[in-house]
């Protein structure tokens, strides 16, 4: 499978659909949020830096994030395609990803954009807070994450549009329908 960038607001389902895509197409998965939460759990220096940003709903600085992404990408098995979940989130990150992949002779592939209304997003994240207790899943931090998404990340959709990579899927109330539409599109790429 080609590389896939899965893009959307907090709670839009990037992680959930990534798991389904990975299972169907047997590809690699990089969730930058999961990488950072892993570092925090292990108490590394990077984790200590990341915690301050994550708990406050802010983005980790681009230079740091770009290094982490390149190192993680190089540790993945080659040739299967990777799904990037939560990266890129800014235009400098997108430019760096494009360059990093080009240096390795790889292609960015396609971008899948998930559009979900904000009330649904908030409900999902508050439900997840009860089940998983993620430090940034509280109403105050979720609102900050939504604002960061709108101001810093959402404008990137236009960048992908210009690259001819943007494929948008809008939530219509059914996870099965969402998945069916995403798979129908990805099946055409194999
Ligand atoms: P990250 O971990 O990427 O969090 P996020 O973008 O806020 O997104 P979430 O993981 O909360 O949501 P999701 O879209 O994966 O949805 P999910 O599938 O879980 O980033 C966290 C932080 O790390 C950032 O704030 C930042 O500080 C830092 N960071 C990470 N990457 C960075 C980068 N590149 N640059 C700088 N900083 C970075 O679904 C949500 C919930 O909804 C789940 O519980 C799911 O089960 C449920 N759900 C219910 N119904 C559905 C449905 N129909 N479809 C999908 N999910 C559903
Ligand atoms: Mg996620």
Encode the chain (190 residues) as per-residue pLDDT tens digits: 999 999 999 999 999 999 999 999 999 999 999 999 999 999 999 999 999 999 999 999 999 999 999 999 999 998 899 999 999 999 999 999 999 999 999 999 999 999 999 999 999 999 999 999 999 999 999 999 999 999 999 999 999 999 999 999 999 999 999 999 999 999 999 7
Contact call for residues 5 and 86 (beta carbons, < 8 A)? no
Interval between CA 171 and ligand 2 midpoint (Å): 17
Ligand 1 atom at minimal distance to the Cα of residue 36: 23
At 78 the pLDDT is 87
At 112 the pLDDT is 98
Is residue 145 annotated as a catalytic residue, yes or no? yes
At 48 the pLDDT is 97
Q: Which residue owns the Cα nearest ligand 1 atom 47?
A: 124
CB-based neighbours (< 5 A) of ligand 2, an ion: 14-15
> Of 189, 190, 169, nearest to 180 (Cα)?
169
At 57 the pLDDT is 98
Query: What pTM did the predictor assign?
Result: 0.97
Measured CA to CA, the distance from residue 14 to residue 101 in angstroms comes to 21
At 79 the pLDDT is 86
Q: Which residues contact 165 (CB under 8 A, 6 or more apart)?
A: 5, 108, 109, 110, 111
Ligand 1, CB cutoff 6 Å, lining residues: 8, 10-16, 32-33, 36, 53-54, 57-60, 65, 86-87, 89, 93, 124, 128, 136, 145, 175
The sign of the dihedral angle between the CA atoms of 146, 152, 155, 157 is negative
Q: Which residue owns the Cα nearest ligand 1 atom 53?
A: 175
Is residue 104 annotated as a catalytic residue, yes or no? no
Is residue 166 annotated as a catalytic residue, yes or no? no
Interval between CA 114 and ligand 2 midpoint (Å): 12
The sign of the dihedral angle between the CA atoms of 46, 82, 15, 86 is positive
Count, residues in the chain: 190
> Of 35, 10, 13, 37, nearest to 139 (Cα)?
10
Ligand 1 atom at minimal distance to the Cα of residue 18: 18
Q: Please list, residue by residue across 27-63, b when 16 or more beta carbons sit within 10 angstroms of its beta carbon and e when fewer do.
A: bbbbbbbebbbebbeeeeebbebbbebbeebbbbebe
At 158 the pLDDT is 98
At 109 the pLDDT is 97
């Amino acid at each position: 499978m080609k590389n896939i960038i899965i893009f959307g607001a907090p709670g839009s389902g990037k992680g959930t659909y990534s798991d389904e895509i990975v299972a169907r197409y047997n590809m690699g998965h990089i969730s930058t949020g999961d990488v950072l939460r892993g570092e925090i759990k292990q108490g590394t220096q990077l984790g200590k830096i990341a915690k301050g940003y994550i708990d406050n709903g802010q983005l980790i600085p681009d230079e740091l994030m770009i290094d982490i992404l390149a190192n993680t990408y190089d540790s993945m098995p080659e040739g299967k395609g990777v799904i990037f979940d939560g990266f890129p989130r800014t235009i400098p990150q997108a430019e760096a990803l494009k360059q990093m992949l080009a240096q390795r002779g790889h292609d960015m592939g396609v971008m899948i954009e998930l559009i979900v209304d904000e009330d649904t997003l908030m409900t999902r994240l508050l439900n997840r807070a009860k089940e998983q207790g993620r430090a940034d899943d509280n109403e105050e931090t979720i609102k900050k994450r939504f604002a960061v998404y709108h101001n810093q990340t959402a404008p990137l959709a236009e960048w992908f549009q210009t690259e001819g990579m943007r494929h948008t899927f809008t939530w219509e109330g059914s996870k099965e329908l969402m998945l069916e539409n995403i798979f129908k599109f990805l099946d055409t790429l194999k």
